[in-house]
């Protein structure tokens, strides 16, 4: 058993036993769902289905139903893609990077953060797929021998790198998440009373029995997967940023993009984790496991990554002037003072100013304030992508081609629809899956539990 300093706040509040941990996590799954769950699920499902309908209409008609034009060939579609991928960065960062750094506070939040990651990457993947227009030939992005002659996909293209990056990230995150879920499914299986639940969780738990050798393998597999997933977290958004950075468009052709995108992704991902967990801990009675200290830790991550993002914005602005390239300078002057000034300044306010408020201890420990800022950050990060994508291309080299982007009804419906689908998935997860890595939490109960830390024996040397 590992001990920690007395001045560290306990990670598990109250007087919990091993059995209490099991009870607290399994009860919401075994009890009937509250009325609120059905209401939220209904709303999310309606919005999600509206999005699915819009996607089907888009596939049947063609991507001309979006508000794109000859000058602005990328707008909401790629904005939404990058926004969702960014959100999908927190989960694996929490479960992999924090595992390598032995941060134990991750244990209460990694399961749901990673579920969120997986669902967010699902949503992200939708956009490039439907942007193909002819979704049914989507498999052409794979290097498959074919009858068109020596026709291979272009391995020099960052868009293809993205195909590999996103699919690797999604599948590895999914495996990492599921390997951790297996022992927890076994706990639910062994408690289940209804035959159907017992059968279902029996299948999901793969016959896990908790043998010493299996736990030995489990710990190594978790560690190695964390080691593999850590560079993945950084590579995915770097590669997403290459989609822009390797082009020759002023405003996109920027070497600062990879680190700037990664910081932005972690920034928005943690904001989404805060939004979801602040509601979930309350609704499911998990306040003892996810409490103010956890929220504060996450707010510190938001503050740090937010500061990196702010620094990147200002660096970008400075370099555009310092480069002496008039097209480059214009791209940035146009962002701040052109017809899209409102988007630029929304982005600046939400992403540069709001995280700085987290320096104040009282604010970063306030749950209500955190919830508010988490929404602000997510709005700001959507505007960041919109600003980068649309303002850089809407006024190109030929003034006769200058244009504006107006989202069509389908643009909006597909975006809102993915938010609906995301919540459909997340609500199903919260209802049927253990939202806390309950067996992992038990390993820190004696080291970081309040009742153990406060007992007179805790600080004695054994």
What's the CA gap between 251 and 389, in Å, rounded?
Answer: 9
Distances (CA, A) of 257 to 88, 146, 206, 233, 457: 18, 36, 43, 15, 52
Pair 292, 365: CB distance under 8 Å: yes
Site for other proteins in 22-81 (CB under 8 A): 22
Is residue 458 near other proteins by the rule CB under 8 A?
no
Q: How far is the CB of 278 from other proteins (least distance, A)?
A: 27
- Report the residue number, 228 or 353, with the smaller CB distance to other proteins: 228
| Binding-site member from 207, 324, 399, 456 for other proteins (CB under 8 A) | 207
Site size for other proteins, by CB under 8 A? 65
Is residue 243 near other proteins by the rule CB under 8 A?
no
| Binding-site member from 63, 132, 221, 256 for other proteins (CB under 8 A) | 221
Is residue 193 near other proteins by the rule CB under 8 A?
no
- Report the residue number, 161 or 426, with the smaller CB distance to other proteins: 161
- Report the residue number, 172 or 304, with the smaller CB distance to other proteins: 172
Length of the chain equals 462
Choices 225-233, 315-323, 389-397, 427-435 (CB under 8 A): range interacting with other proteins: 225-233
Query: Directed axis angle between helix 257-283 and helix 106-131, to 10°?
Result: 120
Neighbours of 342 (CB within 10 A): 9
- CA angle, 285 then 218 then 21, to 5°: 20
What's the CA gap between 381 and 390, in Å, rounded?
Answer: 14
What's the CA gap between 298 and 113, in Å, rounded?
Answer: 12
Q: How far is the CB of 65 from other proteins (least distance, A)?
A: 32
Report the sign of the C-alpha dihedral through residues 38, 182, 187, 94, in that order. negative
- Report the residue number, 65 or 186, with the smaller CB distance to other proteins: 186
CA-based Rg of the chain, rounded to a whole angstrom?
Answer: 24
What's the CA gap between 160 and 164, in Å, rounded?
Answer: 7
Chain centroid to CA 171: how far? 15
Choices 49-57, 134-142, 143-151, 294-302 (CB under 8 A): range interacting with other proteins: 143-151
The tokens for 48 are 């999600």
What is 274-322 written as a DSSP string? HHHHHHHHHHTT-TTTS-HHHHHHHHHHHHHHHHHHHHHHHHHHHHHHH
Site for other proteins in 428-447 (CB under 8 A): 439-440, 442-443
| Binding-site member from 105, 119, 208, 289 for other proteins (CB under 8 A) | 208
What's the CA gap between 262 and 268, in Å, rounded?
Answer: 10
Helix (H) or strand (E) holding 187: helix 158-191
Q: How far is the CB of 192 from other proteins (least distance, A)?
A: 9
Q: How far is the CB of 197 from other proteins (least distance, A)?
A: 14
Pair 262, 181: CB distance under 8 Å: no
Is residue 224 near other proteins by the rule CB under 8 A?
yes
Is residue 397 near other proteins by the rule CB under 8 A?
no
| Binding-site member from 235, 329, 366, 451 for other proteins (CB under 8 A) | 235
- Report the residue number, 421 or 436, with the smaller CB distance to other proteins: 436
Choices 6-14, 148-156, 266-274, 423-431 (CB under 8 A): range interacting with other proteins: 148-156
Q: How far is the CB of 436 from other proteins (least distance, A)?
A: 13
Is residue 304 near other proteins by the rule CB under 8 A?
no
Choices 223-231, 296-304, 311-319, 417-425 (CB under 8 A): range interacting with other proteins: 223-231
| Binding-site member from 66, 119, 161, 270 for other proteins (CB under 8 A) | 161
Site for other proteins in 2-21 (CB under 8 A): 17-19
Pair 413, 51: CB distance under 8 Å: yes
Neighbours of 258 (CB within 10 A): 18
Is residue 146 near other proteins by the rule CB under 8 A?
no
In the complex, the residues that contact other proteins under the rule CB under 8 A are 1, 17-19, 22, 143, 150-156, 158, 160-161, 164-165, 167-168, 171-172, 175-176, 179, 182-183, 186-187, 189-191, 202-221, 224-225, 228-229, 231-232, 235, 239, 242, 439-440, 442-443
């Amino acid at each position: 058993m590992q001990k920690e300093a007395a001045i560290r706040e306990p990670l598990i509040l109250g007087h919990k036993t091993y059995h209490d941990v099991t009870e607290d996590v399994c009860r919401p799954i075994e009890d009937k769902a509250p009325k609120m769950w059905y209401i939220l699920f209904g709303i999310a499902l309606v919005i999600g289905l509206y999005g699915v309908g819009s996607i089907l209409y888009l596939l049947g008609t063609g991507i001309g139903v979006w508000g794109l034009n000859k000058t602005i060939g990328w707008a909401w579609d790629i904005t939404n893609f990058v926004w969702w991928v960014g959100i999908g960065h927190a989960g694996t960062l929490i479960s992999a990077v924090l595992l390598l750094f032995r941060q134990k506070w991750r244990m209460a939040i990694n399961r749901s953060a990673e579920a969120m990651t997986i669902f967010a990457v699902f949503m992200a993947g939708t956009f490039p797929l439907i942007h193909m227009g002819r979704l049914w030939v989507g498999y052409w992005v794979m290097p498959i021998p074919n009858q068109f002659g020596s026709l291979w996909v272009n391995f020099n293209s960052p868009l293809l790198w993205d195909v590999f990056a996103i699919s690797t990230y999604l599948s590895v995150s999914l495996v990492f998440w599921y390997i951790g879920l297996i022992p927890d499914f076994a706990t639910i299986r062994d408690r289940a009373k209804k035959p159907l639940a017992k059968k279902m969780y029996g299948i999901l738990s793969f016959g896990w029995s908790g043998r010493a050798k299996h736990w030995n393998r489990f710990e190594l597999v978790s560690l190695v997967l964390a080691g593999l997933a850590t560079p993945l977290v950084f590579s995915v958004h770097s590669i997403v940023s290459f989609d822009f950075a390797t082009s020759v468009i002023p405003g996109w052709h920027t070497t600062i993009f990879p680190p700037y995108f990664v910081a932005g992704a972690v920034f928005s991902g943690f904001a989404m984790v805060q939004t979801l967990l602040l509601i979930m801990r309350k609704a499911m009675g998990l306040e003892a496991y996810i409490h103010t200290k956890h929220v504060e830790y996450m707010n510190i991550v938001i503050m740090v990554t937010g500061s990196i993002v702010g620094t990147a914005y200002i660096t970008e602005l400075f370099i555009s002037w310092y480069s002496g390239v008039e097209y480059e300078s214009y791209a940035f002057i146009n962002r701040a003072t052109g017809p899209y000034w409102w988007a630029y300044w929304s982005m600046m306010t939400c992403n540069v100013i709001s995280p700085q408020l987290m320096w104040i201890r009282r604010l970063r420990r306030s749950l209500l304030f955190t919830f508010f800022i988490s929404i602000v950050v997510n709005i700001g990060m959507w505007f960041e992508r919109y600003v980068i994508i649309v303002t850089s291309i809407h006024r190109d080299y030929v003034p006769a081609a200058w244009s504006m982007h107006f989202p069509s009804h389908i643009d909006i419906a597909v975006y809102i629809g993915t938010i609906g689908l995301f919540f459909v998935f997340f609500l199903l997860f919260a209802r049927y899956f253990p939202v806390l890595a309950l067996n992992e939490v038990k390993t820190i109960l004696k080291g970081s539990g309040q009742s153990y830390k406060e007992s007179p024996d805790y600080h004695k040397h054994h």
